[in-house]
Amino acid sequence: MKPSLAKGTRDFTAQEVSRRKYIINILQNNFELFGFQPLETPSFENLSTLTGKYGEEGDRLIFKILNSGDYTSKVHQADWENKSHQKLTSQISDKALRYDLTVPFARFVAMNHGKLTFPYKRYQIQPVWRADRPQKGRFREFYQCDADVVGSESLLQEVELVQLYLKSFSDLKVPVTIHVNNRKILSGLAEYAGITDKLIDFTVALDKLDKIGKEGVVNELLERGIVQESIDKLDFLFTQSDDALENLLQLKEKFAGNGIGLKGVEELEFVLTQSLSLGVNIENLVFDITLARGLDYYTGAIFEVKADEVQMGSIGGGGRYDNLTEVFGVKNIPGIGISFGLDRIYLVLEELGLFPEEASSNVEYLFANFGGDETLEALKLIMQLRAKGISAELYPENAKLNKQFTYAEKKGIRNLVFLGEEEIKNKRVTFKNLEAGEQKTISLEEFLS
């Protein structure tokens, strides 16, 4: 049988695993610095927990798990004959791989809200699965790195998450811009233009501005049944200045008497002014009035992070949501959350050459195998190195030295150590740095210091 990978999955080499761990360790360290606590949920959930939470398209991408045993014996013949997909699914599958980390988190909070201390801050770094069509940058199995706060309506949470984003990407040495908007502003714009009933159509088209331009957005708005008069009222959206606070002031004037729009402006103004007061550069925090991600999900602030020096989609995003747990029967638990795109961050670091040398799993020392008593002495010395946290290994066979050299070079081992009869007798160690090509002999004490 020819070995192959399931579509949309990947193997990760030692170097790739080490580099991913480098990113994850920085994110995890910052999550904990900001007071978030770790949470892990099962890889699979009850199917009923997941379905109906992501929309029709999302439901189709859920990986369902077949029930164990002879599940076909429980399926009614009529359902086979009528090909009733929904009925068939419910009879042959009642579990599914998690589609994201948010719905399982909502389920956890709903089940444990009586035991949790609010506001509850959790971070989660785990894989998720989607039965999507694999393509470049899109996989069926991938990691999400989420940080959420639930049980607080304070806008200081938004300010904190801006800080978390900027510190994390600063630690990764990736220059970024955080694009921000507010769901209430989008609702206010729809009300201002008299298209409240077309809110979704309006924002879906507006969100494509950077891809299809003004003309493309206008044409799509017309195709979606939005009249030219309303489009003309929204023309100012395409001529926003670079000054976020000036743009908000313009909105205040247009939203006179528009309660939800003014509320959105007020919230966003607070987040921007507080962030700037804390030293955030206005160039790194941009008010993007066309940002409309997750409309059915978010109710307040919206974030999207883009790398400044690489042509890539967003490498992070999130926003505020109300009643996260309402679908599970627990109301009035507002929340806000952000996510870091591990795979895209990896590609950015790789393109910019930002992975440090220590973000690799290379062994520090390979001890040449000379056989006999030398081997035992080498193993003793290796034990001492490992006790100090230094990686070392012994070549397993007493092979020709050329073969041992080749092994070290191919594996990327930095130093080849020679502990022969003469070295043991004089309590010395000879080693060659394979990167610099330099060889020297030093005392055993110096080597271990």
**Which residues define the annotated binding site for L-histidine?**
100-102, 130, 144, 148, 293, 297-298
C-alpha 448: how far from chain center:
40
CA distances from 30 to 36, 139, 145, 189 (A): 9, 26, 12, 36
Unique residue bearing structure tokens 């959420």: 148
Distance CA 355, CA 171 (A): 12
Q: How would you classify the pairing of strands 438-443 and 428-433?
A: antiparallel
DSSP codes joined into one string, 183-234: HHHHHHHHHHTT-GGGHHHHHHHHTTHHHHHHHHHHHHHHHTT--HHHHHHT
Distance CA 445, CA 438 (A): 20
Closest of 325, 285, 321 to residue 306, by C-alpha: 285
Annotated binding site: 100-102, 130, 144, 148, 293, 297-298
| Cβ within 8 Å of residue 124, ≥6 positions away | 38, 39, 40, 41, 101, 105, 144, 145, 146
Is residue 77 left, alpha or beta, with left meaning phi > 0 and alpha meaning psi from -120 to 50? alpha
CA distances from 426 to 326, 415, 429 (A): 75, 21, 9
Closest of 135, 126, 132, 160 to residue 44, by C-alpha: 126
Distance CA 45, CA 155 (A): 32
Residue 31 contacts residue 147 (beta carbons within 8 Å): yes
C-alpha 160: how far from chain center:
18
**Token output for 379:** 């193993």
Closest of 174, 155, 98, 185 to residue 340, by C-alpha: 174
Q: What is the largest CA-CA distance in the chain?
A: 94
For residue 173, give the 3-state DSSP assignment: coil
For residue 423, give the 3-state DSSP assignment: helix
Distance CA 217, CA 205 (A): 6
6: DSSP letter: P
Distance CA 46, CA 94 (A): 6
Distance CA 109, CA 327 (A): 12
